[in-house]
Amino acid sequence: MQTSRFLVTGGSQGIGAAIVALARTAGHEVVFTGRNEQLIEKVAQETGAHGLRADVSVGDDNARAVDACRERMGGIDVLINNAGYAYRAEIGNLDVDAMRRMFDTNVFGLVDITNRVVPLMKSQGLGDIVNIASTSGMKGAATGTPYGASKWAVRGISQCWQAELRPHGIRVTCVCPSEVQTNFGGNVGRNNPNKLYAEDIGETIMAALTMPRRALWPELAVFANNPWKED
């Protein structure tokens, strides 16, 4: 893979931070966004990437992020749409406003920032967009109406973009991780060596990006091979 210019949303922790670190180790330029100033500074210091405090659900923040990429890197070759969070509730006891707020990040924010990046990619005749969905968007589950719906939406959006952007040399890949050991949703203390780590998803994404440009991996799910094993 040639040296590329990455924009990673939600890059201050978890899967996003793993992607930032792997991309920098491979010699790529990286701008990443996040909402926690301390976490942003930590990842920036550890990796040498440029961190920017920005909320993907805010259009002006997305505009600032794209402008920062233009100013610091001269453009964007790879967009990693990673920012997202989970709200879960049983139907009959579901806060629709909370679901809307989550969609502002998981779906509408993803669409808004991509809408700003695609013209740059079209002008250069190439690019990669990686949308982080979830296996929750591949199967239904109790309490999964809000979060699962947002990730089903990401999968459908990815397929639409594939149809639109392949003629422009732009690849769109949708990645659906299973449970990953991060503090996603506030869960901590899950250091089970047999379950997935953020680095596993990052390595998978980097592998997909290194495929020859004539090849497209449209969607892939990533599961732990044997998460039930006691170690």
Nearest to 111 by CA among 59, 149, 70, 65: 59
Residue among 85, 87, 147, 197 flagged as catalytic? 147
Q: Distance from CA of residue 112 to its chain's centroid?
A: 14
* Phi, psi at 29, each rounded to 5°: -85, 140
Q: Taking the CA atoms of 177, 179, 180 and 183 in sequence, report the sign of the dihedral they define.
A: positive
DSSP codes, 25-83: HTT-EEEEEES-HHHHHHHHHHH-PEEEE--TT-HHHHHHHHHHHHHHHSS-SEEEE--
Residue 147 is a catalytic residue = yes
Inter-residue contact 174 to 218 (CB < 8 Å)? yes
Inter-residue contact 29 to 76 (CB < 8 Å)? no
Strands 5-8 and 219-222: unpaired
* Residues carrying an active site annotation: 147
